[in-house]
Amino acid sequence: MQAHLHRDAFLERLRQEEIWDVIVIGGGATGLGIALDAAARGFRTVLFEQHDFGKGTSSRSTKLIHGGVRYLREGDISLVREALRERGLLRHNAPHLVWPRLFVVPCYRWWERPFYGLGLWIYDRLAGPARMGPMCWLDATETRALLPTLQTDHLRGGLAYTDGQFDDARFLVHLAWTAAEHGAVVLNYMPVEALLRTRTRLEGVIARDLESGEQFEVRGRVVVNATGVFADAVRRMDNPEAAPLIIPSQGVHLVLPRRFLPGEAALLVPRTDDGRVLFVIPWHGHVLLGTTDAPVPTPALEPLPTSEEIAYLLAHAARYLQPAPTNADIRAVFAGLRPLVQRSPLKEDTAHLSREHVIVVSRRGLVTITGGKWTTYRLMAAETVDRALQVAGLPHRPSPTATLRLHGSTWQIDLSDPWHVYGSDAGRIRQLMKTDPELATPLHPRLPYRMVEVVWAVRYEMARTLEDVLARRTRALFLDAEAACQAAPAVAQRIAAELGRDATWVQEQCRHFMALTHRYSSVLPEPAN
């Protein structure tokens, strides 16, 4: 089995294998989940990602593994129960990546405590034995103790419950690693440029290696389209007349200094004036504020937050936090696109479209999975593989992923240790640092990362670019855009040394990253052309 993520070894297997059982397009949560599920069932599986794993939606979430309290309000009881069950499985299978977080709902009106209390009581009961902690009632003093920066005017008390939190991009890396350990080939920077098809069926894909330019004709028994907000583009490769299935919806998050929420509890506002949910959550020594929900006309690989979305979040945060955060306090801002499934008749308000997933099979046999949410990725993957096996005429084998532990899985972790997201690999990283003391160098005084993590990411986690390391193998860009920008030149030099790149490559990487970083910051100057 694959000892680690090794791109050259994957490419060599791609050249040697004549036909695959399952070809997966898309390296986000659903795609990697499908690759793991299919490979764990014993099928020859290959996955192609056009950029890096999780470049799009899957690394830009609210960092929650949860049942979705807000879906209770919309009557999606089955979705909530399903997600709560999956939350329990993910916590068991990846305890180093999924951990409990206490949430507090402050109540300012007389009716809020009984109303929200009933909802949380139902939420608690739906979780059954998989619940993470009991719901409890708080008086005003207890609420202030848990949320020291909460606005207290007219505060009547609150409610507390426990949900799941995680690091989405780190989870993806461990998904990819686990898939490789079960025999899958997973390749980043390998866009699928066309589908191999006859008049009646699909025979495979044409993929191109962006690093070398080498093109591959890859034959397979079934092709799965797991490209999220880009699913319609792949569907049109199969059928140019395919009706749109996706309505992309943009969600924006702000990252603030820890002083705006110094305790360990998160703040949840179940309903803002326009019916949305507001989260203020501790995350990696910072505070995450989100989110928005607005339709966008076309999907983009790097969506851009708007000034209106930033202002919306700051205005609502000001109602609940004292002091109120301002634009100058923002350390980073990022946007992600949700692949919401279009219903008929078309709904314009994407905040109220269902997050449930759908599986669609085209006339030629392209299996498309889209919609859903991070928490249910495993279930979505299992259902998709079941359907893909039917399409391919392959024998049914049950999915083992409900009890399959992810790479690095261990309960021997300290959540205060920034390296807990590496799980059992943390000891190997520390040993690597001992071999070269320079690897202990922090990337930046405001970032919790060291140079050894750069080396680890390149050698063992298939990081290929400066962005891969600073945005997804570490979360530097998402935590503090300015600090990531300042750390970039030294990190690029180290990546170049690992990959054998020259000075021109370093300069190009830094130029690209500086331009990218501006999109995540409200304080950095415009990059030079």
Tokens of 31: 């795609």
CATH topology of domain 7-57+170-245+351-403: FAD/NAD(P)-binding domain (3.50.50)
- Distance, CA of 378 to CA of 386 (rounded, Å): 12
**pLDDT band (50, 70, 90) for residue 515:** very high
Q: Would you say 49 and 189 are in contact if contact means Cβ atoms under 8 Å apart?
A: yes
Residue ranges of the chain that CATH labels 1.10.8.870: 418-518
**pLDDT band (50, 70, 90) for residue 128:** confident
**pLDDT band (50, 70, 90) for residue 523:** low
Q: What is the mean pLDDT of residues 417-433?
A: 95
Per CATH, the number for 418-518 is 1.10.8.870
Q: Would you say 122 and 72 are in contact if contact means Cβ atoms under 8 Å apart?
A: yes
pLDDT at 75: 72
- Distance, CA of 66 to CA of 75 (rounded, Å): 16
pLDDT at 271: 86
- Distance, CA of 333 to CA of 311 (rounded, Å): 12
CA–CA distances in Å: residue 357 to residues 8, 82, 243, 297, 372: 34, 12, 17, 21, 4
pLDDT at 131 over 90: no
Percent of the chain whose pLDDT exceeds 70: 95
Q: What is the identity of the amino acid at 474?
A: T
End-to-end CA distance of the chain: 46
Torsion 477-55-450-516 (CA) sign: negative
Q: What is the mean pLDDT of residues 314-338?
A: 96
The string of DSSP letters for 186-248 reads EESS--EEEEEE-SS-EEEEEEE-TTT--EEEEEEEEEEE--GGGHHHHHHHH-TTPPP-EEE
More confident residue, 332 or 276: 332
pLDDT at 71: 76
pLDDT at 21 over 70: yes
φ/ψ of residue 137, rounded to 5: -90, 140
- Distance, CA of 348 to CA of 341 (rounded, Å): 12
More confident residue, 399 or 518: 399
Residue in this structure with the two tokens 């979505």, named with its chain if needed:
380
pLDDT at 497: 98
Q: What is the mean pLDDT of residues 53-64?
A: 96
Pinpoint the alpha helices (H) of 357-460.
377-392, 426-435, 451-460
pLDDT at 79: 84
pLDDT at 348 over 60: no
pLDDT at 529 over 80: no
